[in-house]
């Protein structure tokens, strides 16, 4: 992890999004639709669907909304979405990945490209930066809630890859295929999590000064604000100085 706190990045990124609950519910509905379309409507058999439903419940999305999204995904109601990932560079040469769900590829392509350009970045072609990331499950646990030896024992038995102390939190990294197993192990041990995500981690985080870092964060926020965007990942390393500057904005 090279001292890179993904939790810090996630925390700052999600602060602005979670305040817009209606928009967040819309994004999560799309994720449920896609998961149900590809793997069926039973979360017991479809791990991707179970993960999407858990995220929806975590932000108090109504049960009716979840059920409607599942039915739409399984074809019981009309409407289709396409999964796409856009790649590009932000200010300071930061690599950026953007996951979208869209019912109009051409419209979304043009709008995402404009956001990149408006915020000092440039959208590239497929394969431009994807190789700079690796898909991982990641959890953050408040260090006050457990000791390192206990936590290490729980997560290693579940098959996690790594545990590191990051300031006041422990960060756990695992292969995305066993995300639900690690999550279940933590729940069984009554160890609460601040954050549990399947995400894209940069293989070599990009170091930026505060000015460039704030520009990247504005790009991330602008992309996140687009209705079709599900997730935005960047290679930027979140430093304490950058986090403090972002809190003042």
Rounded distance between C-alpha atoms, residue 39 and residue 118, angstroms: 37
Q: What are all long-range contacts of 78-81, with beta carbons under 8 Å and residues at least 24 apart? A: 79/33, 79/103, 80/37, 81/30, 81/33, 81/34
| The pair of three-digit structure tokens given for residue 175, joined into one six-digit string | 């292969």
pLDDT of residue 5: 52
According to the model, what pLDDT value does residue 212 have? 93
Q: How far is CA 90 from CA 103, 119, 159, in A?
A: 26, 8, 35
pTM: 0.76
Across the 249 residues of the chain, what is the mean pLDDT of every consecutive 10-residue run? 45 49 78 86 88 87 88 74 92 94 90 97 94 94 92 93 88 92 93 90 92 93 88 89 79
Q: At which residue do the structure tokens 């069984």 appear?
A: 188
User: What is the pLDDT at residue 79?
Assistant: 59
Q: Which long-range contacts (CB under 8 A, 24 or more apart) does 103-111 make?
A: 103/79, 108/84, 108/226, 108/228, 111/226, 111/228
Compute CA 157 distance to the chain's CA centroid, rounded to the nearest angstrom. 25
Q: Compute how many other C-beta atoms are within 10 angstroms of the C-beta atom of residue 180.
A: 18
Which residue, among 108, 136, 117, 186, has the nearest Cα to 10 in the 3D structure? 136
Q: What is the pLDDT of residue 1?
A: 31
What is the per-residue pLDDT for 96? Answer: 96
The pLDDT score that the predictor gives to residue 16 is 46
Q: Quote the pLDDT of residue 17.
A: 44
* Complete domains list, the chain, with CATH: 6-73 (1.10.10.200), 82-131+204-248 (3.30.70.980), 132-202 (3.30.70.980)
- Give the distance from CA 137 to its chain's centroid: 10
pLDDT score at 29: 87
Q: Tokens in use for 49?
A: 């669907």
């Amino acid at each position: 992890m090279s001292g890179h706190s993904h939790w810090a990045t996630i925390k700052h990124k999600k602060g602005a999004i979670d305040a817009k609950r209606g928009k967040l519910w819309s994004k999560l509905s799309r994720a449920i639709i896609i998961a149900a379309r590809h793997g069926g409507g039973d979360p017991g058999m479809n791990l991707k669907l179970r993960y999407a439903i858990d995220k929806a419940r975590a932000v108090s999305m109504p049960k009716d909304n979840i059920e409607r999204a599942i039915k739409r995904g399984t074809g019981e109601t009309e409407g289709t979405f396409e999964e796409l990932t856009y790649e590009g560079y932000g200010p300071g040469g930061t690599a950026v990945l953007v996951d979208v769900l869209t019912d109009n590829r051409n419209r979304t392509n043009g709008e995402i490209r404009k956001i990149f350009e408006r915020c000092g970045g440039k959208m590239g072609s497929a394969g431009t930066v994807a190789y700079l990331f690796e898909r991982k499950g990641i959890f953050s646990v408040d260090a006050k809630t457990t000791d390192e030896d206990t936590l290490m024992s729980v997560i290693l038995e579940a098959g996690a890859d790594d545990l590191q102390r990051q300031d006041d939190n422990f960060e756990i990294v695992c292969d995305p295929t066993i995300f639900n197993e690690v999550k279940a192990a933590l729940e069984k041990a009554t160890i609460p999590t601040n954050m549990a995500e399947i995400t894209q981690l940069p293989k070599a985080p990009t170091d930026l000064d505060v000015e460039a870092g704030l520009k990247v964060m504005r790009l991330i926020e602008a992309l996140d604000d687009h209705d079709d965007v599900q997730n935005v990942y960047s290679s930027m390393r979140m430093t304490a100085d950058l986090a403090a500057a972002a809190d003042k904005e």
